Structure 1
Amino acid sequence: MDQLDYSLLYKAYSRKGRKSVVSPKMLFKIIVYGYMNNLYTSRGLERACRRDINFMWLLQGAKVPDHNTIARFRSKRILAAAEGLFYQLVELLKECGEISFENLFVDGTKIEANANKYSFVWRKSTEKNAAKLQDKLAETLQIICEKYHFAITESVDPSEVLSLLLIQQYQQNISFVYGTGKRKSQLQRDVEQLEELLARQRKYDDYGQIFQGRNSFSKTDHDATFMHMKEDHMKNAQLKPGYNVQIGVEAEYIVGIDISSERSDALTLKPLLQTMKNFLKGQKHENIIADAGYESEENYSYLDEEKQVCYIKPSNYEKSKAAKYRNNIRLLENMEYDEAKDEYTCRNGKKVCPVSVTQRKSKSGYRSVITVYECENCNGCPHKVSCTKAEGNRKFSVAKKFKWQREQSQRNITSAKGILLRINRSIQVEGAFGILKENHRFRRFLLRGKQSVRTEFLFLAMGYNLNKLHNKIQQQRCGKMLHEKKTA
């Protein structure tokens, strides 16, 4: 920890005012050591500084920081510097020969957010209620304008109508009354009804800004998305607010982190690799190993552009081993394909030729080229019932680039090197999550907001890496990058 550069951290403190009781560098060490020993709360860290001899040694005789100081440091002071300090540690591991930027094992898990699980807001429900509100608002404005003889235009501004009503109150010298036993005038009732509708409209507009392409969020943590968790104590597949935590592991060390609000892993690989590239000054891993959840044309194309070898397991890899899959005449993989003529041949011997080309846009904005094929004649085909449910000729869409990329990735993972890397992915990255969740008992974040959650997990990853380095030194396994395949 003494070899890290803390200059960015010290910039978070002003030179004016009283001097801090404990230096930022020492506070950083205390929190990292706390995460190494499953101490996460600020009060628990304060208590350990008073009672634990190891924390006392870290303080070097300095005054014990109270829990407010620790909490403020973790949630505010360290935010801008935490990620840089983590990647400095990764570079130190590289200098020590513990990592070589060769094989990066990627995986993700969902960890529950510090948010009320009943504070959900759903996008479809919000859009439905917002549409009903617009109809109600238009009807109310029509009635008010006719009642008070306001000029009606095609686009009536509710705020202007409200201002006109308040002018009416001033001109007629009408006092608004509140409380029980008071009778409200019709003007006051119209003003309050319009104010209520406008308040609801502002609320739905704010919700629309918070969604940012998601289908849900929590009122107590706007960055948290409702997801299915593996740890479902109620056993009813209840959705709970959480974050999709992505890590990249090499030689059993966590060398990359990203926190995402997306439920799907397919949209998280590219941000993780870009973050690592930015903080590691352009250093990139040669091989990227991930499971089927990361398979997409966008991810394949990004790895091709970065000249990184892809070892992503195709989503149909396990199914393709079954006889039922190989005998399914509907699947393109079981049709003969003539690359020169760009046409398929179905089980009945009919040609399936391209008829049009279109584009498909993903959630992230990536556009893939789709070729639509149609069979020349399906009338009287004895296999039609098994092949298609369409009344006319069978049609299907093919993303040629994605099809070629999937075949290339399958060749990679079935090679001798690919098999060894897939074995290590299960051991290293899934093993890291197992240690964090079971040994460190880290199953719920303490802080709220994506930036604070990212900082909290960075502390956890630094503690994990230091523990891992210590264990490898004790077991004399330093410099070992991969676990060899064991055979009976």
Structure 2
Amino acid sequence: MSKKGQKVHDKKVFIPYMQNQLTLPISIESLISKDHVVRVVNKAIDQMDLEPILAKYPGGGRSSYHPIMMIKLLVYAYTDKIYSCRRIAKAARENIMYMWLCGGNTPDFLAVNRFRSERMKDIICEVFAEVVALLVRENYIKLENYFLDGTKIEANANKYSWVWGKATKRYKEGLMEKCQELFNEIDKINEKENNEYGETDLEELGNGKPIDSGAIEETVRKIDERLAQKSQDQKPDDETKKLKKARKTLTKDYLPRMQKYESQQTILEERNSYSKTDHDATFMRMKEDHMKNGQLKPGYNVQIGTEDQFIVGFSIHQKPGDTTCMKEHLETLKSLLDGNLPKNIIADAGYGSEENYEYLNESQLNHYVKYNTFHKEASSKWKADISKVQNFSYIEDKDEYVCGYGRPLVFLYEHKRKSDNGYESVLRVYECLNCSGCPHRDKCVKSEKPFANRRININRKLNAFKKQARQNLCSEEGLKMRSLRPVEVESVFGDIKGNFGIRRFLLKGLEKVKIEWGLHCIAHNMRKMAVMMG
């Protein structure tokens, strides 16, 4: 180096950098700021009553990592955007926040995964309930206003591994027809042999009973009995060859297919689809549709309720519609809150059904839940449309409706309709006496028949619930709750899905997904507490 260069270098001043400098031993805790979220997680979990969790460890054998330490580790990792067990184990070895939280313990990824998948399965609801109880004790929430909403999150499953319920039913019915045809052929063979030899060993197959895998197995057994009666030395006749061919068709083709369809229907239960790589996932339409083609993806319907942007309750559902989830969700919440529910329930139009309104009234809950036409009914365009049933007049003493053109609709009959949850609604059917000559007929009557008249279905109970809901929603308190709902629950979903990237679950199966989402909810509440404490 030139002298000139040396002089320039000598003028520069740097902070001393000496890797081999000896230092006094220091505590890791002294390196962590007082308002760091790791301290919030540690303090919050220490304040919880986790004795029931400790009681689930039977004792004996090799010592386990302390469950309180493992819960702290998982919760803090989820607040820190670390969800992989390998990365969590790595952080416990290398990151001072995790090292302090674990007290020097270094569980490997197998121990972390085993605790999350097996131990947390039994305690996730209890841990979350303790978090909510802590929020109440610390006056973060009051359990007064409960803002409910749902979102769909993709499952950890192949996008093209679908099994459709309707297709399975159709294939099974086609196979049952083929089985019945084959049974009839076997019956003819047996009848011919019985006439020749006077043997009546085989009863008529099928016999009016439903055809399933058990019926096929029974038929194969009876064919074996018939074949065993024939002499081994006797040259096989045409009937024997036909029976052997029928047996081969049943065992090699029909029976495995029938067993497959029955297994699929068992997995489906009341759903319309499932994924072969995650049997608990249902195919749903996601908002994150980058292909813009309405593609169905395997996923779960996640329901949460918030107060002051803290998550107070959560549940995981396999049905895509929010309407069918409210009652089950609130019952889950009731079990978390020791039989109590928040005073006010606020939700959007996806939850406005007769079944849900009735449940809310029976539970004596104040509610501000919209129905599907709530906003449309207030528009001038809707009010001017005389074809809308809501704009018809009702004459109580005649039990008749009068359409916007002044023609009466008389009562015909009542019929019942069941929801997906089995809830039964009563509908009253009315029909116009004569729609001919009406200038609005083409718009009003949907039937293509030339002499068809307008029919309407009236659900009186639902209409009464809607009237009450509109009064609640248009009140001063209702307007306040409606304005808070998007700020409350939708912002929480935005934080978890947008800021923390939770758009696809890592774990498979309903129980494990429940654990994963429960940890995300707990982590969100911890982050929120840390922000408010700071």
Q: TM-score, normalised by structure 2?
A: 0.82
Pairwise CA distance, 1:41: 1.1
Change in CA separation of 1:90 and 1:341 when aligned onto 2, cut-off 3 Å: farther
Range moving further from structure 2, 196-205 or 435-444: 196-205
What residue in structure 2 maps to residue 198 of structure 1?
255
Structure 1 residue 440 corresponds to structure 2 residue 500: yes
- Which whole-Å CA distance do the structure 1 matches of 2:284 and 2:231 have between them? 55
- 1:25 equivalent among 52, 58, 68: 68
Task: Give the alignment of 1:230-309 within 5 angstroms.
Answer: 230-309=287-366
Task: Give the alignment of 1:122-271 within 5 angstroms.
Answer: 122-144=164-186, 151-155=202-206, 157-166=215-224, 190-195=246-251, 196-271=253-328
What residue in structure 1 maps to residue 487 of structure 2?
427
Range moving further from structure 2, 427-436 or 356-365: 356-365
Structure 1 residue 456 corresponds to structure 2 residue 508: no
What residue in structure 2 maps to residue 37 of structure 1?
80
RMSD value over aligned CA atoms?
A: 2.2
What residue in structure 1 maps to residue 47 of structure 2?
3
- Which whole-Å CA distance do the structure 2 matches of 1:331 and 1:368 have between them? 21
What residue in structure 2 maps to residue 77 of structure 1?
119
Counterpart residue identity of residue 63, structure 2: K
Counterpart residue identity of residue 437, structure 1: K
The SS at the match of 1:79 is helix
Q: Write out per-residue CA displacement over residues 83-102 of structure 1, whole angstroms, 9 at most, x where no aligned residue.
A: 01101110111111111111
Range moving further from structure 2, 306-315 or 145-154: 145-154
The SS at the match of 2:323 is coil
Higher helix share: 2
- Which whole-Å CA distance do the structure 2 matches of 1:99 and 1:29 have between them? 22
- Which whole-Å CA distance do the structure 2 matches of 1:42 and 1:144 have between them? 59
**Conserved in 2, the CA contact under 8 Å of 1:347 and 1:383?**
no
What residue in structure 2 maps to residue 181 of structure 1?
none
Pairwise CA distance, 1:190: 4.7
**Conserved in 1, the CA contact under 8 Å of 2:187 and 2:205?**
no
Structure 1 residue 120 corresponds to structure 2 residue 162: yes
Pairwise CA distance, 1:379: 4.0
Counterpart residue identity of residue 159, structure 1: E
- Which whole-Å CA distance do the structure 2 matches of 1:377 and 1:125 have between them? 42
**Conserved in 1, the CA contact under 8 Å of 2:205 and 2:219?**
no
- Which whole-Å CA distance do the structure 2 matches of 1:45 and 1:447 have between them? 15
Counterpart residue identity of residue 442, structure 1: I
**Conserved in 1, the CA contact under 8 Å of 2:180 and 2:206?**
no
Pairwise CA distance, 1:191: 4.1
Q: Write out per-residue CA displacement over residues 265-297 of structure 1, whole angstroms, 9 at most, x where no aligned residue.
A: 000111111111112112211111111111100
What residue in structure 2 maps to residue 483 of structure 1?
none
- Which whole-Å CA distance do the structure 2 matches of 1:340 and 1:90 have between them? 53
Pairwise CA distance, 1:164: 3.9
- Which whole-Å CA distance do the structure 2 matches of 1:168 and 1:373 have between them? 62
Matched length: 462
What residue in structure 1 maps to residue 525 of structure 2?
465
- 2:442 equivalent among 385, 388, 396: 385
- Which whole-Å CA distance do the structure 1 matches of 2:256 and 2:248 have between them? 10
* Structure of higher CA gyration radius: 2
- 1:411 equivalent among 437, 451, 471: 471
- Which whole-Å CA distance do the structure 2 matches of 1:146 and 1:336 have between them? 66
Change in CA separation of 1:167 and 1:154 when aligned onto 2, cut-off 3 Å: closer
- 1:350 equivalent among 407, 413, 416: 407
- Which whole-Å CA distance do the structure 2 matches of 1:454 and 1:302 have between them? 25
Range moving further from structure 2, 154-163 or 305-314: 154-163
**Conserved in 2, the CA contact under 8 Å of 1:9 and 1:78?**
no
**Conserved in 1, the CA contact under 8 Å of 2:147 and 2:488?**
yes
The SS at the match of 2:263 is helix
- 2:386 equivalent among 299, 306, 329: 329
Work out the percentage of aligned pairs sharing the same amino acid: 40
- Which whole-Å CA distance do the structure 1 matches of 2:258 and 2:517 have between them? 37
Structure 1 residue 365 corresponds to structure 2 residue 422: yes
Q: TM-score, normalised by structure 1?
A: 0.89
Change in CA separation of 1:389 and 1:448 when aligned onto 2, cut-off 3 Å: closer
- Which whole-Å CA distance do the structure 2 matches of 1:7 and 1:146 have between them? 71
What residue in structure 1 maps to residue 5 of structure 2?
none
**Conserved in 1, the CA contact under 8 Å of 2:70 and 2:112?**
yes
Pairwise CA distance, 1:440: 1.0
Change in CA separation of 1:42 and 1:372 when aligned onto 2, cut-off 3 Å: same
Change in CA separation of 1:467 and 1:224 when aligned onto 2, cut-off 3 Å: same
- Which whole-Å CA distance do the structure 1 matches of 2:124 and 2:343 have between them? 26
Task: Give the alignment of 1:85-100 within 5 angstroms.
Answer: 85-100=127-142
Pairwise CA distance, 1:387: 2.6
**Conserved in 2, the CA contact under 8 Å of 1:287 and 1:309?**
yes
The SS at the match of 2:324 is coil
Change in CA separation of 1:166 and 1:305 when aligned onto 2, cut-off 3 Å: same
**Conserved in 2, the CA contact under 8 Å of 1:104 and 1:249?**
yes
- Which whole-Å CA distance do the structure 2 matches of 1:376 and 1:334 have between them? 18
Counterpart residue identity of residue 15, structure 1: G
Pairwise CA distance, 1:46: 0.7
- Which whole-Å CA distance do the structure 1 matches of 2:265 and 2:364 have between them? 38
What residue in structure 2 maps to residue 310 of structure 1?
367
Change in CA separation of 1:171 and 1:332 when aligned onto 2, cut-off 3 Å: closer
**Conserved in 2, the CA contact under 8 Å of 1:227 and 1:263?**
yes
Change in CA separation of 1:267 and 1:154 when aligned onto 2, cut-off 3 Å: same
Range moving further from structure 2, 323-332 or 458-467: 323-332
The SS at the match of 2:456 is strand
- Which whole-Å CA distance do the structure 2 matches of 1:313 and 1:350 have between them? 31
